[in-house]
Structure 1
Amino acid sequence: MVWDDVDACSILQVEQFEGFRHFWVLRRYLDIVGYEPAITDEELVGHRERNLENVRYTAEDRIPVLVNFTWSEHFAGYFFMRVAEQAKEPVLAKLAKFIAGDEFRHAEGGFRILQNVVNRDKSKVKDIVKAANEFRHYGNDVTDVPISLNNDFDAILKVVKKTQRICGVSLADFSLEAYEEAS
């Protein structure tokens, strides 16, 4: 889907590696503390097999998927930051803080990809703003995504402002404009 964007491929490759590292370290943590029921490799393979058929992206999905990825990484950063704040166990707090930093970096990479899209083709702003207004956490393509703080206004405000800076338009104005056109 982004094979023709060298920057995007590089950024997404790092995110993929680090995402698996997050999974591995959290799984190890749960094993060490004796969490039950432990998830088995067979269960994980089963989840992956089911998702092979559920997740298919086309070229038309490029902008929505990039926006959903970027925003999801941003919110994941806040999720793990909140977990770190709430964790009573110091090792878990430290792990969550480390993961939060990675997630924020992944989001910044996503914002860079979106900025490059706009720099190459200003007409894509409308697609980006539309996708932002229809945001859906990309993790929901494969599982239910937990939240650590309902209506985390700081997280929401920051992601909206960053997107508006890239697009040069207000997401709210765009929504109002679309509403008025439809009326």
Structure 2
Amino acid sequence: MTVRVDTFTGATGSFLAGRNASTPAVAALFAIVFTIAFLVLGPSDQQDVHDDLARAFMEGRLWVPWGSHWELVTIESQRAWSPFPPVPALPYIPLFAIGVTPTVTVFSSLFGGAGAALIFLIARRMEVPLRTAIWLTLGVAGSTYGWVAASGNLWFYPEVLGTSLALA
């Protein structure tokens, strides 16, 4: 397979035109199917510190109340600091603002499905044939990446989010 430099610069014309017209529909299908699969396969009662951290951010704090999670390192009396990075807590904030309380499994599944769709879109952008791009996406989403996304636990959700953001 020969890859031209202009494939990556966008000089080949509209990505959504011509023979790639079905690409967005297939990518959306991958996102929906894998999100549902990860939700069904994932646990429903995962421990989550990202929601506490998001609530703390909404209240103007960097610390979370002590006692909710054993993973937290106590620095001061009745205050604990999350050892997890802040970025995985950020998607919770808009949903908390409208009164919705998601679980870590929901976010892991959503970003896992988005990552599967992005893998497909990147493959098509590189002019990989449709059949090969589909198999590539199924191979990646059905492997360790899919298991991590479906596990949806405290440690794996940031990995799935990071992978999706890197692919975007």
Bucket of the pairwise TM-score, normalised by the shorter protein? under 0.3
Bigger fraction of residues in helix = 1
Q: TM-score if structure 2 supplies the norm length? A: 0.26
Flag the structure with larger Rg: 2
Structure scoring higher RCO (CA < 8 A, sep ≥ 6) equals: 2
Q: TM-score if structure 1 supplies the norm length? A: 0.25
